[in-house]
A = this chain, B = another copy of it.
């Protein structure tokens, strides 16, 4: 993080500077909402490899990174995009073909792990998953863990409650903190120093942002400092955590951005289709490589479809959108 000053930069520059091969990355959003897709496509375009990706339920973004072969290790709670793909298709293929190493946690555990990282503690406790294979089965072998200084030596630890049975609790699961090298989030509003305002649910974005060594913010609107400071209660991430701010409208497309646009069901359905077919997926990847910027994707999609997903002012999503 960088304390103060102007952090505005280009997406290409931010990704080139911070998202290196082998870097430990986390991305914000949830399933089909507020994934930092422009940044995801830029990472794919720069052919970054061997990412260690931390995901809770970051559906579309995680699947596209995996599909592009950018990811070698994945710590994850859920790989799905709701109705569009109950299990993300490239994720599924990559695991079944043993192309990536996976460590499974629950959504709460992944969230607590980011929270622990943001709080500067090595672990946080919860009662989830006791008695299950989440505790029994480790995706990363102990030797692998020991070789890597930047992952903890254990998947998790079960501890006897040191306060006897305080809170009717005999045992508790400790999950280790995550401090990603880089977190990328897409928010509705930011200013030049990196103050962020997220509209609607924050998912685990705030914890992911504060846990990271380096935070890249992409935003729909880049506003004056004064604008955001007029309603500080609504700003979830203060600038002291931020390193790079990129203004990139439709930066979450094809996933949704509350109050701005809905997810694009046409894109997501087409993606799910072509993800099943190796050849089609390769030419889909080519289309990403061939684009110079997110703008070109939006031009390709066309004004008509962007108009269809435009959020109603009141509801924050496109009420009339045909989602069948």
Contacts and interface: CB of A to CB of B under 8 A. Distances in A.
Interface of A: 116-117, 119-127, 152-154, 157, 159, 161-164, 166-167, 169, 172, 174, 176-177, 179, 199-200, 233-234
Given A124-B124, A162-B157, A200 B169 contact: no
A120 B233 CA distance: 26
22 contacts: A116-B167, A119-B126, A120-B127, A121-B126, A121-B127, A121-B167, A121-B169, A122-B163, A122-B167, A123-B163, A124-B124, A124-B125, A125-B125, A152-B163, A153-B166, A154-B162, A157-B162, A157-B163, A159-B162, A162-B174, A163-B176, A167-B179
Number of identical protomers:
2
Contacts of A164: 152-153
Nearest to A170: B122
Given A120-B127, A123-B125, A127-B120, A163 B172 contact: no
Nearest to A162: B157
A314 to B, nearest CB: 9
Nearest to A125: B121
Nearest to A169: B122
Contacts of A200: 233
A234 B199 CA distance: 10
Given A166-B152, A166-B153, A166-B176, A161 B233 contact: no
